[in-house]
Structure formats: structure tokens, C-alpha cells
Structure 1
């Protein structure tokens, strides 16, 4: 899974995350699968991830890669389905008013587990080999990436439509897991020296080409 994150020149979205604002947004292009196979007609997702108080929301549309880049990089409204227009207009307004530009790319391997029955709506993801770069933002670019989270760490997330069940929080406690604020985008920004290391940055015990 690979994502290109957009931000302002002064990293507004980065600082909103670090400061923990109750309402904040991020814009990204996301591709699921091998990035080296991505071409102009490959399907990617234009996605706005936003947080309102303690609720995280994701809204997105699927577009061919060249149309997604036209929208986010050239401010050109793409051909679209009727139901996509409102969202695409929101993205266009966001990139135009804030003069957004690609700032960082992240990639990682994800294992995802989905609950069923009484646990329907529960999702657990395990992300490992978290890499990033700060230039050459075409997904298929043959550019060196580096680990932005040390290789021995994985990011585990519990996600729920309502609330995380007690059995899952109890299991996490028995495994001595603790709640840590981790943003893969912020890790990439800080790993490449574009912002000071925050207190939420995972210590740099190993960085290597990936």
C-alpha cells in the first residue's frame, strides 16, 4: 500500500496532527498493490481523511492515476460519475485555496483482519516495513525509499464502528501493548528533516534502503 500526501508549504496538516486539533484533514492519493506496476490508467483513490473530535472519517473516489494527478497537481476537474462531483469539488477547492503540493510518500505491508458475528465492524490492521520518501512522487518512480519506522516495529491499529470490545482491549493489555500516537505521514516528514522531531516520533534505531 502506497500513499502520496499533500500539504501546504508550511506543513499545515502536519502541524494540525502534531497539535492534536479536534478538526483536521489530510489529502492523499492511495494505491493498493505493487507501485512499480502503476501507470496512467491504473486505479488509485483520491482520499480525504479527517478527524472530528474523536471520530475518524475517510471519504474517497477511485480514478485513473492520470486523472487523479490532474486534479491534485494541476487543479483540473476530471471526468467523473454523477455521484462523485461534490467530493471532487471539495478536493479541488482544498488544493486550490491552500495551494497544496505533494510532500511525502509512504508505503508499507499491511495485514488486515475483519470481525464477524458479534464483532462485526471491528478491524485490526498490522503495518510493517513502513517506508517513505520526500521527492519523485510518481508511484512507479525508481527512487530510493528509506524506513521511516525502524524495521523491528509494526504499527497495530484497532478500528471499530462503535467501540472496541473489552476482549480486544484486555488482550492488548496482556500483551503489554500501549496506546501511542503514530502518523506515518508525520514520521516521513520528520525522518527527512522537514520538521523537528516531535515527542510522538518513533526513535531512530535503524534506517536502511527499502
Structure 2
């Protein structure tokens, strides 16, 4: 059996950006980057089933900022329509070591992935996959993991060219989820937004250093780094844990008013009108 195991390390920078501004940034980036081969026009769906202990160990490790922390998830790329036990998914351990994000994952049929993570049963694997499969099984059993939340969003991805090989920028919008009905294939499951729908998460991922022109773009557009986790956001949005200082509240990021959406010249004219009237 050929190995289905993949692993990679990255540095990640996240920004919370209004959807309309994200479109402008994406168009600017497209002048120096290419669309990911797997990213069609309009993006693609990403759905993740996160596991945690009854005491939400992984959630609290994130909140407390542990330098080494892990989380386990099953991830499906694409729409959830027609997901069956034969659909291919990723079983992934995502861990943080200081500032470096490490991901290790294996492609499995969805039914086999649930057999491993939910039923805590050993599944068929190649010798090269043995260590990872055993780590997942040990983590599930020792930490008493069970499904905690499902998150989903629409993603557009760009990749770097030539000297920027290893650079990847993603834009995630319509970020939503649920705290029940944990099977991907449940057609009647209801999701709700966990981050206000007028906002998107822009993420810059690099192997080593961030290109200067990317940091220049962020500075010109007044983008501020933010600590946001879609999993943490879901846990807090559904009241499974107290809201932390990292929680994204809609009150803190209200949608723009109709006037704010108008061109700058038009807004200036409206603001100047009362002044001119008062001078007459």
C-alpha cells in the first residue's frame, strides 16, 4: 500500500478583513501570485470536524497560549452534498511548536476515518503510516476525544511564483459551523455564522520568511494581525466555553453602513453639504 501520509511546517499570519476589501486585496495579489490549482473561481468548501476532550483540553491550551499544543480534526474539501463513507477526507493533527505550525495528515475514506477517530479502532495502513495512525489512536484514547464542533467556510487560495515558492495566501469567508449533528452527510443539519458574514479571514502562510511586498501591502492597507481560531470561535459562539479576549464579537466589527460603502468623493460631498448650507 502506497503511503497516503503528508506533512509540512509553516509560519502563519492572520488578518480579519471585510469581504469587499478582501476582494480588492485578492485582485492585487493576483498580479504577483497564481490561483491554486485546486481553487476554482469563487473558491471551494472546507469542512472540518474537530475533536476535543470533555474538558475541552485543546481549546484551553489554545486560550492559554501553550508553546506546544495539538488538535485533531477530520477535514473534507468541497461541498457536503453526497458525502458518504467512501468519500475521501483527511485525518489531520495540527500542532503548534513555538511560532511554527506543523500539519500531518493522512487521506482515508470517511467511514474509515470515523472508525479510527470515533470507534477508536485500528485501521489498515502501510508501514510508513504506522507511526501517525498509532499517534492518532493514542491521542483519541488517552485524551478521551470526541466530536466537539464542525466548522465550514468558502476558501479562495493563491500561491507564490518563482522566488516566492512556498508562499500561500487564503481568503476564508462565510465562516459557519454547528455544535451537533457531527456527521458530514446529514443534509438537514443547520449551521450558523460563527464570524460575522461581512468579514473574512485572510491568512498568509510561508515556509520561512514573509516577502517584503506582502508586508508592504499589509501596511498600506492598515491590516492588523489578529489571533483568531475558527475552532475556538465555534466553541465560544455556541456557548461551550466562556468567551475569551480573542473572541470576534460582531459589535466590535459592525458591517459598514450604506454611507461607508459609498465612494470617498461621494461621502465627502454629503458630509460637506450641511457645512455649505450653514454658511449661506
Structure 2 length normalisation: TM-score? Answer: 0.72
- Tell me the matched-pair count: 206
**Structure 2 residue 209 is the aligned partner of structure 1 residue 157:** no
Distance 1:110 1:81 in 2: 32
Q: Runs of 5+ in structure 2 lacking a partner? A: 1-45, 254-280
In structure 1, the residue matched to 2:132 is: 87
* Superposed displacement of residue 82, structure 1: 2.5
Distance 2:198 2:190 in 1: 20
Question: Which segment drifts farther, 113-122 or 77-86?
Answer: 77-86
**Greater RCO, 1 or 2 (C-alpha within 8 Å, sep 6+):** 2
Look at both structures and tell me which one has the larger radius of gyration over its CA atoms.
2
Aligned 1:62-101 pairs, distance under 5 A:
62-101=107-146
* Superposed displacement of residue 36, structure 1: 2.0
In structure 2, the residue matched to 1:201 is: 247
Q: Runs of 5+ in structure 1 lacking a partner? A: none
* Superposed displacement of residue 80, structure 1: 1.8
Q: In the alignment, which of 85, 96, 99 is matched to residue 54 of structure 1?
A: 99
Distance 2:125 2:250 in 1: 43
Q: Where do 4+ consecutive residues of structure 1 move more than 3 Å?
A: none
- Alpha-carbon displacement from aligned partner over 1:34-90 (angstroms, at most 9, x marks no partner): 112210100000000000011100000000011100000011011122321110000
Residue 171 of structure 1 aligns to a residue whose secondary structure is: helix
Residue 154 of structure 1 aligns to a residue whose secondary structure is: strand
Distance 2:122 2:152 in 1: 27
